[in-house]
Structure 1
């Protein structure tokens, strides 16, 4: 049974589900920073997914990155799967702008997280409702 890592639960806000991955929003208003987590039990490395899930993971990642780039006006999309602090396989998809708080350096450890307000979260969800269609299911707010 799929269970989200406790650190991801603590640091993110649930948005919804693609066919394979749970979509989370990192609770840091400095950047539109999203995390995709395959809903598979005890997967730490990409190669632990079967071939079909690997394709779905990359497809969901690239489609999300393209959608976020257009929706949030990114200058550059940062996409990375590191897993040094959270072992559970997850992909960071981060909208970067030349005027963001960390540009041009990486976002990790740059600033203390600035939690979103309820209004900011609602605005992001509203934006995503306009662009995430098809097989995406939003979670209850």
Structure 2
């Protein structure tokens, strides 16, 4: 079995938060929306149904662990949780914090404008808050 390899586009567009039981947890480098991504550490998985039943259960557990943390930290009005995979086919799950009046409220975040990268300090502070809340739970 070969070691897990993260899609290069996910590596380029995100910051590593840490590893959970199944997934790599990553922060999208787009300050318009606080946006976490869970990537199951499984090569060659494109669709949710391709995960084993145990991995599906673990993913659901990890979403339930991460989502309320993101909502609390950001004071979001709503979380958008989805799997698209139209650009990056490697299976990954998005958890996006949305607030009334954000860059495309109430429309979707996908396909709206261009990413606005975090400043180094801003990214570092958000990463630390998420790490502390999720990884020390």
Q: What is the match of residue 99 of structure 1?
A: 101
**TM-align CA RMSD:** 1.3
Q: Which structure 2 segments of 5+ residues have no match?
A: none
- 1:134 CA displacement: 4.3
2:26–2:36 contact (8 Å) kept in structure 1: yes
- 1:10 CA displacement: 1.6
Q: 1:10 and 2:6 equivalent? A: no
Taking the aligned partners of 2:41 and 2:83, their CA distance within structure 1 comes to: 15
2:65–2:134 contact (8 Å) kept in structure 1: no
Taking the aligned partners of 2:136 and 2:21, their CA distance within structure 1 comes to: 10
1:45-84, aligned counterparts within 5 Å?
45-84=47-86
Q: What is the match of residue 138 of structure 1?
A: none
Taking the aligned partners of 2:132 and 2:101, their CA distance within structure 1 comes to: 25
Q: What is the match of residue 119 of structure 2?
A: 117
Taking the aligned partners of 1:2 and 1:126, their CA distance within structure 2 comes to: 24
- 1:133 CA displacement: 3.2
- 1:126 CA displacement: 2.6
Taking the aligned partners of 1:134 and 1:84, their CA distance within structure 2 comes to: 33
- 1:2 CA displacement: 0.9
* TM-score, structure 2 as length reference: 0.93
Taking the aligned partners of 1:10 and 1:122, their CA distance within structure 2 comes to: 16
The 4+ residue runs of structure 1 with deviation greater than 6 A are none
- 1:107 CA displacement: 0.7
Taking the aligned partners of 1:129 and 1:89, their CA distance within structure 2 comes to: 22
Taking the aligned partners of 2:6 and 2:14, their CA distance within structure 1 comes to: 11
Taking the aligned partners of 2:41 and 2:55, their CA distance within structure 1 comes to: 10
